Amino acid sequence: MTTKRPYSALIDQLKTAGLRPTRQRLALAKLLFEGGNRHFTAEQLHAEAMGAEVRVSLATVYNTLHQFNDAGLLREVVVEAGRSYFDTNMDDHHHFYMEGSGELQDVDCDEVVLTALPDAPEGMKVSRVDVIIRLNPAND
């Protein structure tokens, strides 16, 4: 799956988001957006970048992830204190979380039907509803 100009689409994506297409951002975007959707931590992505040809500092990985998050290119998922996960799947969806292994798995939004939600308190509006289905190994 080689393309003649592999970076041009990524470059456009970054420019549209108001981010300069720097070496580091492009390399991370390539890792993140050229495969299927994924869940990962900053340190996992950093390790992956180090394993590839790109040398990027951990600080830059964090900066970039927050910038991509703010730009709507990915999102953060909170499932465990002291560990931030990021998610390249921007469709409306929810998650299975395997408490043992720390793995996340997507749950399509039509598999979780919320037929009733309370009104937000006065002066507040709902920004997002997260459903996390925590899983453990069945012991039988």
* Footprint on this chain of DNA (rule: CB under 7 A): 19-25, 41-43, 55-60, 62-64, 66, 81-84
Q: Does 34 bind a copy of itself (CB under 8 A)?
A: no
Q: Does 72 bind a copy of itself (CB under 8 A)?
A: no
Secondary structure of residue 94 in the 3-state scheme: strand
CB closer to a copy of itself, 71 vs 109: 109
68 close to 26: Cβ distance less than 8 angstroms? no
85 burial (CB, 10 Å; 0-12 / 13-18 / 19+) is buried
Degrees, nearest 5: CA angle 18-86-72: 30
CB closer to DNA, 37 vs 41: 41
Q: Which residues contact 137 (CB under 8 A, 6 or more apart)?
A: 100
Task: Return the residue of 8, 76, 92, 102 that touches a copy of itself, per CB under 8 A.
Answer: 76
Site for a copy of itself in 95-114 (CB under 8 A): 96, 98-99, 105, 107, 111-114
Residue 5 contact, options a copy of itself, DNA, Mn ion, none, Cβ 5-8 Å cut-off depending on partner type = none
DSSP 8-state secondary structure symbol assigned to residue 19 = -
Q: Does 27 bind a copy of itself (CB under 8 A)?
A: no
